Structure 1
Amino acid sequence: MENLIRFIKFPITFNIERLQKDVQKILSKKWINHYNTNDYTGNWSSISLYSEGGKSENINAYNKGTEKVTYTEIIESCDYFKEIIDQFLFEKTTVRLLRLAVGAEIKPHVDNCLGYEDNCFRIHIPIITNKDVIFILDNQRLIMNEGECWYINANFTHSVVNHGKEDRIHLVIDGIRNEWTDELFFKEANEQQFLKPEKKMSDNEKELIIEELKRMNSNTANELISKIQNK
């Protein structure tokens, strides 16, 4: 895990004024409290721009696979959000606005299988933030400014607290890795830094596997035994 990339600040920026203009159009809409209620204190809410079933109230990060993933009705009034989403040429699994209210805190946690090494990933685009937002990823503070574009490896422990005087709102895009994203990511880091390390077998696991292979008593089994013993 030590070799894996924790984050990338892409050399991409978006128009802050247009981002904030779009978000102002939907602040009065129905935002849904985040479902991981044990992971935060205060107010943490979301509204979907792209979701399974095309429903803005469906803020789930993981789809059930029962309905088509598509734009929600919210996007109709948000031309710039749609322009941004469409320029990312990969399959999106969900696109949400995440809003962390003043004084709210997201406790340290991990989001399993949300690193590029898992063939899926998460992009953050801050729309409204402030200098008193404390975002910690794997014991390192990241300062993500409005209009920037970041990859966050959510497999690593992360937390957020908003000590500022205004709500923090990010556009968050979850997607599936493809050749287009490989080109984007590999410009910023070595390809080897996105490879999940092989799980090392314990001595006990090795012994059990070797015993099973010995029972097979074949040339292939003997070759596998040799490889396991030399690891």
Structure 2
Amino acid sequence: MKLDVPLKTLGPVDHLALKNAVAAATQQEWLEEQLRQKSFDVHAKTHSIIMLFVEGWPEMTISRHSGWNTYSRYALPVMQEIIRKHYSIHGTIIRAVFAKLLAGMSIDEHFDDHPTFSIGHRIHVPLVTNDEVDFVIAGEHFNLKEGIAYEVSNLDFHYVANPSHQDRVHMIFDYVEDAPAS
């Protein structure tokens, strides 16, 4: 969704149980689904655990993926807390993934161009990060902090650089208020 600002800070969330669960993910879990990497060139240097993914437009079909059974019990309370505090509770989570940007890698500049991005709130919750990670949105540099929820203006050009020696892990979800879902 295009925001008036590149990044909106939503505030702290109770993320520790989720962080600990995702920290225990195996390499096999991170590599099991390559949907994002194959569909979007800019995500080639990332690994993902997908919980929910949407296909189609304007009729949307939301499917549960391999990460749902393992991580939804930790992720849903965090997502619901954010929704309850900042958005209408009448809506649908249409995407939910854990995205790992590998140490020393970057996500090239891009904007998110699927039609659902114009109606959905793109929320990031950093679970593992550090001061070296640079998230640039509409030319402005940001250092997102662990355990703080943010809404990203993902229709603006953005990129991420992780020059550190530590993988960066975010939970990312898209929430559409009053969304029709099938």
Give the superposition deviation at 1:68: 4.3
Question: In the alignment, what sits opposite 1:169?
Answer: 169
Q: Highest CA radius of gyration, 1 or 2?
A: 1
- Superposition map of 1:119-134 within 5 A: 119-134=119-134
Question: In the alignment, what sits opposite 1:19?
Answer: 18
**Residue among 78, 81, 84 paired with 1:84:** 78
Question: In the alignment, what sits opposite 1:104?
Answer: 105
**Which has the bigger relative contact order, CA under 8 A and spacing at least 6?**
2
Counterpart residue type for residue 37 of structure 2: H
- Superposition map of 1:1-231 within 5 A: 4-15=4-15, 17-28=16-27, 29=29, 30-32=32-34, 34-35=37-38, 36-37=40-41, 39=42, 43-52=45-54, 63-64=55-56, 68-78=61-71, 79-87=73-81, 88=83, 89=89, 90-112=91-113, 118-178=118-178
> What SS does the aligned partner of 2:24 have?
helix
Structure 1 172/74 Cα, relative in aligned 2: closer, same or farther at 3 Å?
A: same
CA contact (8 A) 2:6 2:140 kept: no
Choose between structure 1 and 2: higher helix proportion. Answer: 1
Count of residues paired in the alignment? 163
CA contact (8 A) 1:114 1:122 kept: no
CA contact (8 A) 1:25 1:77 kept: no
Give the superposition deviation at 1:12: 3.5
Output the CA distance in 2 between the equivalents of 1:77 and 1:160.
27
| Stretch moving more, 104-113 or 132-141 | 104-113
CA contact (8 A) 1:114 1:121 kept: no
Root-mean-square deviation (CA, aligned residues, Å) is 2.7
What TM-score do you get using the length of structure 2 for normalisation?
Answer: 0.76
What TM-score do you get using the length of structure 1 for normalisation?
Answer: 0.62
How many percent identity over aligned positions?
Answer: 17
Output the CA distance in 2 between the equivalents of 1:129 and 1:31.
23
Choose between structure 1 and 2: higher strand proportion. Answer: 2
> What SS does the aligned partner of 2:161 have?
strand
Question: In the alignment, what sits opposite 1:192?
Answer: none
Output the CA distance in 2 between the equivalents of 1:130 and 1:9.
17
Structure 1: unaligned runs, 5 residues or longer = 53-62, 179-231
Structure 2: unaligned runs, 5 residues or longer = 84-88
Give the superposition deviation at 1:149: 0.2
Give the superposition deviation at 1:93: 1.3
